Amino acid sequence: MIPEIGHFALILALLVSLVLGTLPIIGAASGNAVWMGLARPAARAQFLLIAVAFVCLAYAFAAMDYSVMYVAANSNSKLPIQFRIAAVWGGHEGSLLLWAMILSIWTVAVSLFSKHLPDDMRARILGVMGLVSVGFLLFMLMVSNPFERLIPAALDGRDLNPLLQDPGMIFHPPMLYMGYVGFSVAFAFSIAALLGGQLDAAWARWSRPWTTLAWVFLTLGIMAGSNWAYYELGWGGWWFWDAVENASFMPWLVGTALIHSLAVTEKRGSFKAWTVLLAICAFSLSLLGTFLVRSGVLTSVHAFATDPRRGLFILAFLVVVIGGSLALFAWRAPTIGRGGKFSVISRESFLLANNVLLAVAAISVLLGTLYPLFLDALGFGKISVGPPYFDSVFAPLMAPALFLMGIGPIARWKNASLPELAKRLRWAFGVSIATAIILPLLLGNLTPMIGLGLFLAVWVFATTANLVYQRLRGSDQALITRIKSTPRSWWGMVAAHLGIAVFTVGVTIVKGYESEIAVRMAPGDVAHLAGFDFTFVGVDEIQGPNYSASRGQLRVTKNGVERTVLTSEKRLYTVTNMPMTEAGISPAVIHDLYASLGEPLTDGAWSVRIYHKPMVEWIWFGCLMMGFGGILALSDRRYRIKKRSKDEALANEAVA
């Protein structure tokens, strides 16, 4: 009964989203205030209905209703409750429901926080989001219904993929989806502006906080995923250039470009057409990514062909959304003004150059991800495009972007002078070059990649320090007043850029200096790595809720002083009969010690892999700083003033 209620709620949600996607937009075009006014109640009704469907599916999981096919395929009675709930988004159908759910959350958020927008603008924005929602709900109801019954019911479920049975599963997907579905807001703002012909600084200003918020979610979501892979996959990698990761990384790259381009559009009125195009691309890549991951086309072109209905729907939807919005763009773009004048050397130009680099990087990732699919589909044979390809293509594209990142914020708007910039940055440059050569020599390994990575990281640190110094010096006010009087969005930029530097340090150092050993260890044996002694305590058998595991412990000492104990498990999940490794990690600022238990050998010995990962945590800390920077920018006074003045206006109205 409950699943039918969920199914019915989805059908109602589709009807509501059809209303939301049509009447307000038509109303905005014809000036019909009643039809425009439908947007807000419809957005809320749609949210409630999808929430009901979502809760129904979660309930089916919690209640172990194995007469629902999706529940039977993705959970098991022995699965702990938190993973049974997270299993809602553990498979294809449920993650589409999560997508629709999050889209409706963003839609409702826009309807709540858009009181200051003109009515027609708001109606168009909510309408466009409604149209996207129509696509997803139709897709679910037509070809991948999560509430589909299984008759007769299964006795027990087939269990959630053991890889996904981890706290990461609870946070990572919703966070990531909040990110890339969040770009639907920027997309809807752009389409609405193209439809209404109101592309101005105000438009940029309104869509900016939404874009930043989505970007923060996406950054943190990707970070959570990378960290999860690091401890879950058992060998300490943190990025694999897997298509699923690329699907989230492409919108991130374009979203990052979009944030910067929006800043220029808001402050200087330039790049309007480019900003709109980026907003369309960011969301299109989100859609493409979702479907690439969800359609099974990645595992093999043939998986796509085995269920042609899904594939065709996906293709049609992508063509309609992406093609439609690009066509609209092409039609309307010539009417968009050019904005302020600026010279070839100016902050605008640097930002635009960075945008080009980020866009080229995104397209390259797309190329590498899709290329094998196209070759295969065209009958040119199967190839694999993996980390060696992406590493060698990505680094040369990102290096100039990081270099420009140091110059951009220092260059003046409109017109900057190269000699002046060179003079101001010569110290930063010298320090970066010196560090990039001396530090690796001290650490005992200088390769071009290490040198380049460190140079760029220190360059970003040094130029940002210079920027902050110049901003704060030379005024009679107290330092604290000067810090406070600087807008939070500016500090947000500083924090995010420093985050990139911290991230770059982490990547460079861990790639350049990590070490590992693979040893055979019997209880009492000692292995040595990076100055630490690892004593194998032994293995004991433990029983988890739905797995049995061998748990091995390594006592870590340095010069005889005990530092930590690493506990690694080798689990066997009983339902799926899949082995999993839980790594034992001791994280620290300087380095992680990382151990994973391999296979049992003869005489009670085990194969054990031990890794020394210097500064690997900096990778995620850098991402956290970027996210924090975004949040700082969102808390900027400008957005609060707007609110306060509105509250005052309301108060005045009440008095009057």
Partner 1 sequence: MKVYSILRLALACLLLHTTIVLAEEAQPLEANQAIEVQVQRLSEELRCLVCQNQTLADSHADLALDLKREIREMATKGMSDKEIVDYLVERYGDFVRYRPPLKSSTVLLWVGPFGLLLAGGVGLFLQLRRRQTMTTDAPLSAEEARKVSELLDKES
By CB under 8 A, is residue 579 in contact with partner 1?
A: yes
Q: Identify the residue among 34, 473, 560, 603 touching partner 1 (CB under 8 A).
A: 560
Angstrom distance (rounded) from CA 88 to CA 535: 42
| Identified binder of partner 1 from the candidate list 381, 419, 448, 474, rule CB under 8 A | 381
Q: Phi and psi dihedrals of 253, rounded to 5?
A: -60, -50
- What is the DSSP secondary structure assignment for residue 263, as one 8-state letter? H
State the helix-helix crossing angle for 39-62 and 92-112, rounded to 10 degrees.
150
- Residues in contact with partner 1, counted by CB under 8 A, come to a total of 75
**What residue type is 133 in one-letter code?**
S
Which of 151-159, 333-341, 442-450, 454-462 is the region at the interface with partner 1 (rule: CB under 8 A)? 333-341
Rule CB under 8 A: is residue 386 a binding residue for partner 1?
yes
* Whole-angstrom distance, CA of residue 94 vs CA of residue 71: 9
449 binds partner 1 (CB under 8 A): no
Closest CA to 512 of 562, 457, 564: 457
- Considering the rule CB under 8 A, would residue 31 count as an interface residue with partner 1? no
Please count the other Cβ atoms lying within 10 Å of the Cβ belonging to residue 557: 14
Which residues ranging from 68 to 127 are in contact with partner 1 (CB under 8 A)?
116
Q: By 3-state DSSP, what share of the chain in percent is helix, strand and coil, each rounded to 5?
A: 65, 10, 20
Q: In the bound complex, what is the minimum distance in angstroms from residue 604's beta carbon to partner 1?
A: 12
The residues, ordered by sequence, that sit 6+ positions from 68 with a Cβ below 8 Å of its Cβ are 3, 57, 60, 146, 147, 148, 149, 150
Q: Are 620 and 239 in contact (CB under 8 A)?
A: no
Of the pair 387, 545, the CB lying nearest partner 1 is at: 387
Among 119, 242, 465, 468, binds partner 1 (CB under 8 A): 242
Under the criterion CB under 8 A, does residue 444 sit at the interface with partner 1?
A: no
Nearest-CA neighbor of 160 among 65, 59, 100, 85? 85
Contact 582, 189 (CB under 8 A): no
d(CA 327, CA 342): 29
Residue 394 C-beta: closest distance to partner 1, Å: 8
Candidates 127-135, 229-237, 289-297, 544-552 — which segment interacts with partner 1 by CB under 8 A? 229-237
Nearer to partner 1, 384 or 485 (CB): 384
Nearest Cα to 100, choosing from 24, 46, 36, 38?
46
* Pick 41 or 388: Cβ nearer partner 1: 388
Q: Is 412 in the site for partner 1 (CB under 8 A)?
A: no
Positions in 345-374 near partner 1 (CB under 8 A): 349, 352-353, 356-357, 359-360, 363-364, 367-368, 371
- For residues 241 and 621, which CB has a smaller minimum distance to partner 1 in the complex? 241
Q: Is 202 in the site for partner 1 (CB under 8 A)?
A: yes
Rounded Cα gap, residues 503 and 497, in angstroms: 10
List the interface residues with partner 1, window 118-137 (CB under 8 A). Answer: none
Among residues 623, 494, 503, the alpha carbon closest in space to that of 218 is found at 623
Closest alpha carbon to 236 in 620, 572, 613, 623:
613
Task: Produce one character per residue of 590-614: b if its CB has 16 or more CB atoms within 10 Å, e if not.
Answer: ebbbbbbbbeeeeeebbebbbbbbb
| Residue 314 or 336 having the CB closest to partner 1 | 336
Q: Please pick, from the candidates 67, 550, 557, 564, the single residue that binds partner 1 as defined by CB under 8 A.
A: 557
Taking CB under 8 A as the criterion, which residues in 584-623 touch partner 1? 607-608
Q: Least distance in Å: CB of 146 to partner 1?
A: 23
Binders of partner 1 among 501-540, rule CB under 8 A? 517-522, 524-528, 533-536
Task: Report d(CA 97, CA 309) in Å as an integer.
Answer: 18
Helix (H, G, I), strand (E, B) or coil at 462: helix
Kindly tell me which of 344 and 478 has the beta carbon lying closer to partner 1. Answer: 344
CB of 577 to partner 1, least distance (A): 14
Stretch that binds partner 1, among 208-216, 316-324, 391-399, 405-413 (CB under 8 A): 391-399
Are residues 270 and 656 in contact, defined by beta-carbon separation less than 8 angstroms?
no
Question: Minimum distance between the CB of residue 646 and partner 1, rounded to whole angstroms?
Answer: 10
Which CB atom, from 477 or from 645, has the smaller least distance to partner 1? 645
- Measured between alpha carbons, how far apart are the two ends of the chain, in Å? 54
- Residue 275 interacting with partner 1 (CB under 8 A): no
542 binds partner 1 (CB under 8 A): no
Span near partner 1 by CB under 8 A; candidates 137-145, 228-236, 436-444, 543-551? 228-236
Residue 383 binds to partner 1 (criterion: CB under 8 A): yes
